[in-house]
Structure 1
Amino acid sequence: MGEPDTGAARPADEAVIETRGLAKQYRGTLAVDGIDLRVPRGSVFGFLGPNGSGKTTTIRMLMGLIEPTAGSARVLGRPMPRSSRTVLPRVGALIEGPALYGFLSGRDNLLRYDAADPTADPRTRSARVAAALDRVGLTAAAAKKAKAYSLGMKQRLGLASALLQPRELLVLDEPTNGLDPQGMREIRSLVRELAADGTTVFLSSHLLDEIEQVCTHAAVMARGRLITQGPVADLSAGARGRLAVTTPDPAEATRVLAAHGVSELTAVGPKVTGELPADPPDLADLNAALVAAGVRVRAFGLERATLEDAFVALTGEGFDVAG
């Protein structure tokens, strides 16, 4: 199944991950329905989708953990899963949470991970483990048993295991799961550092604002299908911004805006937002209509469309934050 392994790596300007018609079927149900995914080298690529959209199944196929039903996948220029033995040593991965030995310390867990890597030099093992612990902020807890770690600490330790060796590609499944806001900021900063060093980062997340803050590119999955992919700025630009009016007269502003075709109006405190119609009125005329009706306008304009706006526009549904 898939393409033959020619043994030749692809040029540096080609995709780090590329799939053609990749599909996975379980008992007659298509969990992944023929997707063509392309992850550019050097990108921080966000993989978005609600619960059950096929994200984790796709990642498991990319990593050679399960066989596709149809189609092909190439990672670092080689067909998967056929080339797992040559590809995976160049990939760091954290999928569906870390697998840890609870009775071992954090440091000893990493020592075990490193010892299982046939490419790892045992003479520099301790130094690599110490550097990985420091990079994810676990040096002070290195001697504590993993079973006593919080969810966020376990997530950090799993990320440290993926960073024991320099990697061309880092695949992260919900990397900030269980972290407090400070921990989330630190992981985002780490992802940026890794990307600056030349590592391509492929991460799935249900946190849309996280994708906007850290990712250069993204793909949106829904019901097993790839809805769209591309630079994050381009995806957001595909959705229309919302009209926003700040006024001490929100009720009257809502009435006037509705009369001029603005829909999905919401008022939170002094701020009123809504969707402009497909053939929107001139914004200056709309502002003048508010003023003429006695609405005291303090601010008026279009808010930049977010990635969430783009997701809703593309899929016609809200984003399931449990996904």
Structure 2
Amino acid sequence: MGEASATEPERRDGEATGDGVIVTRALTKRYRGGQLAVDGLQLTVPEGSVFGFLGPNGSGKTTTIRMLMGLIEPTSGTAHVLGRPMPRSARAVLPRVGALIEGPALYGFLSGRDNLLRYDAADPTADPRTRRARVAAALDRVGLTAAAGKKAKAYSLGMKQRLGLASALLQPRRLLVLDEPTNGLDPQGMREIRTLVRELASDGTTVFLSSHLLDEIEQVCTHAAVMARGRLIAQGPVSELAAGARGRLVVTTPDPADAARVLEEQGIADVVVAGERVTGEAPARDLAEVNAALVAAGVRVRGFGVERASLEDAFVALTGEGFDVAG
């Protein structure tokens, strides 16, 4: 009853919240000097999704997250989190949100365990009687039990990321916001974090995960949004985003130079030769005609087909440029 009455004024003020756990409308952030970091963002994050927020470094992802979490004020537009306007409702919203933004803030002289005890003690909703059990469970969930007694300043970057994630998992959360959660992790650690994200989603937690790693988004996310230069380029289910781009025609042959020449003569764009593998943009025309042209030219075709478009293919198709992770 209290929840309904609390949100009623927000619905009367014209800021439609939509059906998402996160909803933004024309959200904009312009810094001093005129730098436009986020430009008119229209974002909807479905409840129960693992939502990938994708874009090169500098595309506006972290600025957006900081606005969603009430850390900075938008220049214009609105942001709703869990149906409440931010930053106005931060006190009501943030206890139900776990977040790891721009790396964890840790006390280097304290152990990993003591850092989490401090985090938990700062939460007015946390029951002090079960604090140590919660901390132990969070450490175990991110694989830091064995290092719990080590001072945080001696942690590697990957271990610090794990500890930050553990701090976000001390309480059950309806929404988990992770900014580059696998930063600094080795391949095994990245796999473990992906598995953990899937487990959290299966438990009913909506996960909003920003990354500049296309492969990471494609492996773990159900939905995604693509950002470039502060603007939203596309959003939707990951499978649909990838389906919007053409796949790659792949020819395996001991005659790669001849195959490349024939493909170009057949109007195939972006032909690339790598050993006995020749690839190009999949054409809209009948592939049987392309294969027949290869055979007629004396090319020995050992393999011929189209690979499904990846999220990277979709990004290039949407933006007209490569995915520059240093951008």
Partner of 1:18 in structure 2? 23
Unaligned stretches of 5+ residues in structure 1: none
Deviation at 1:281, TM superposition (A): 3.3
- Asked whether the 8 Å contact 2:21–2:45 carries over to 1, the reply is yes
Partner of 1:311 in structure 2? 315
Cα separation, 1, equivalents of 2:26 and 2:269: 39
Aligned match of 1:196 in 188, 196, 202? Answer: 202
What amino acid maps onto 2:291 in structure 1?
N
Aligned match of 2:298 in 290, 294, 298? Answer: 294
Deviation at 1:320, TM superposition (A): 1.8
Equivalent runs, 1:5-44 vs 2, <5 Å: 7-8=6-7, 14-27=19-32, 28-44=34-50
Cα separation, 1, equivalents of 2:200 and 2:225: 20
What amino acid maps onto 1:58 in structure 2?
T
The answer to which of 46-55 and 88-97 deviates more is: 46-55
Please provide the CA RMSD for this pair: 1.6
- Asked whether the 8 Å contact 2:144–2:163 carries over to 1, the reply is yes
Secondary structure at the residue paired with 1:16?
strand
Partner of 1:274 in structure 2? 280
What amino acid maps onto 1:296 in structure 2?
R
Secondary structure at the residue paired with 2:70?
coil
Equivalent runs, 1:248-267 vs 2, <5 Å: 248-267=254-273
Q: Does 1:144 align with 2:150?
A: yes
Partner of 1:247 in structure 2? 253
Unaligned stretches of 5+ residues in structure 2: 12-17
TM-score, scaled to structure 2: 0.94
Runs ≥4 residues deviating over 3 A: none
Partner of 1:62 in structure 2? 68
TM-score, scaled to structure 1: 0.95
Cα separation, 2, equivalents of 1:58 and 1:6: 28
The answer to which of 91-100 and 19-28 deviates more is: 19-28
What amino acid maps onto 1:183 in structure 2?
G
Tell me how many residue pairs correspond in the alignment.
316
Cα separation, 2, equivalents of 1:303 and 1:255: 20
What amino acid maps onto 2:42 in structure 1?
D
Equivalent runs, 1:176-255 vs 2, <5 Å: 176-255=182-261
Cα separation, 1, equivalents of 2:37 and 2:326: 18
Cα separation, 2, equivalents of 1:44 and 1:78: 20
Deviation at 1:258, TM superposition (A): 0.8
- Asked whether the 8 Å contact 2:282–2:306 carries over to 1, the reply is no
Partner of 1:322 in structure 2? 326
